[in-house]
Amino acid sequence: MDSFEGKLAVVTGGGSGMGRELVRQLAAQGCSVAACDLNADSVAAAAAVARSDAPPGTQVTAHTCDVSDEAQVLRFRDELLERHDSDHVDLVFSNAGIGGAGSFVRDGRAEWERTFAIDWWGVYYCARAFLPLLIASGDGVLVNTSSVNGFWATLGPGMPNSAYSTAKFAVKGFSEALIEDLRSNAPQVRVAVVMPGHVGTDIIANTLRAHGLPEPERMTDDQVTELIPAELAPEGASPDDLRRLLVQANAGFRDNAPLSAAEAAAIILDGVRSGAWRILVGEDAEKLDEAVRARPEAAYDYDQLGRWPDTVPGAGAQEG
């Protein structure tokens, strides 16, 4: 696929971060896009911006969908085919994802399963729903977003990331398994797996929302102290301090990243155009991949592994 012009792409989680940038950049290159998100307002706004940047004839539609609910994914599929008057799609970016439930030991089961359901089942349901339409394209690409946490299952010392890593390993394994499956059974479709390092987005704030929590300013004392347990909080921190800490964590993660969402989306699109099946996003992701491959036994011995993740601002925050 040399160009996205005249194609139809599906982008999940298109209302923020890398998804919003994928929608904008695809549309700017003359690719029609159907974008969905949990958050109806943000995806509508992202589609409006993308439309204003797009050449004539490029259609960008916004849809509300929770990808962890198969019925909603099927409704999204039917809705977009009707609105784009199409019987196929050319590209599917399964990008929607959240963090949370870092600890299997400490965090609640419902939170753990919510994170896993979005990050794994969301990708699975989209593959089920859209594969026949990618086959119908005759030249389809399925692009699944994993993470460096798809090959390295921690955020560093004291920062387990269990639900997210389990799901992201599954996304990577599924995508790799599809390589031979598609080659054997549907050679008109290929698959790529995206593994970003730290990219500056609002994923911390969006994660809280996806877990049903209000903005930090409106959280109750119980909500905020459950979210940041005493052993992780600065000594003597009050609930108000914790609320401020959450706002700062999101801003810090977004504003101190080595790569912006726009830069990350450009890397992803270059990778897809080049035919790569494995798209590492950012120098931090490349270095970590090299380190873990070179010394798998040292993966969880942070001193031995090297300077990562100290080199990555925000790696000690909640996402990866």
Q: Which residues bind ligand NAD (CB under 6 A)?
A: 12-13, 15-19, 36-39, 42, 65-68, 95-98, 118, 122, 145, 147, 196, 198-199, 201-203, 206, 210, 261, 319-320
CB of 284 to ligand NAD, least distance (A): 9
302 catalytic? Reply is no
The dihedral formed by the CA atoms of 119, 125, 129 and 130, expressed in degrees to the nearest 10: 30
Burial of 59 (0-12, 13-18, 19+ CB in 10 A): middle
Residue 189 CA to residue 138 CA, distance in Å, equals: 7
CB of 171 to ligand NAD, least distance (A): 8
CA atoms within 13 A on the CB side of 153: 12
State the CB neighbour count (10 A cutoff) for residue 246: 21
Which residues, 6+ apart, have CB-to-CB distance to 228 below 8 Å? 237, 242, 245, 246
97/140 with CB nearer ligand NAD: 97
118/291 with CB nearer ligand NAD: 118
In angstroms, the Cα distances linking 162 to 55, 153, 253 are: 43, 7, 19
CB of 253 to ligand NAD, least distance (A): 7
CB of 173 to ligand NAD, least distance (A): 16
Scanning 186-297, the segments in alpha helix (DSSP H) are: 203-210, 221-227, 239-255, 261-274, 283-294
C-beta of residue 165 within 8 angstroms of C-beta of residue 120? no
CB of 42 to ligand NAD, least distance (A): 6
CB of 179 to ligand NAD, least distance (A): 20
Distance between first and last Cα of the chain: 30
Q: What are phi and psi of 220, to 5 degrees?
A: -75, 165
Given the residues 124, 164, 300, 302, the one annotated as active site: 164
| Short-list 73, 100, 93, 84, CA closest to 134 | 93
271/320 with CB nearer ligand NAD: 320
13/140 with CB nearer ligand NAD: 13
66/107 with CB nearer ligand NAD: 66
61/206 with CB nearer ligand NAD: 206
Annotated catalytic sites, by residue?
164
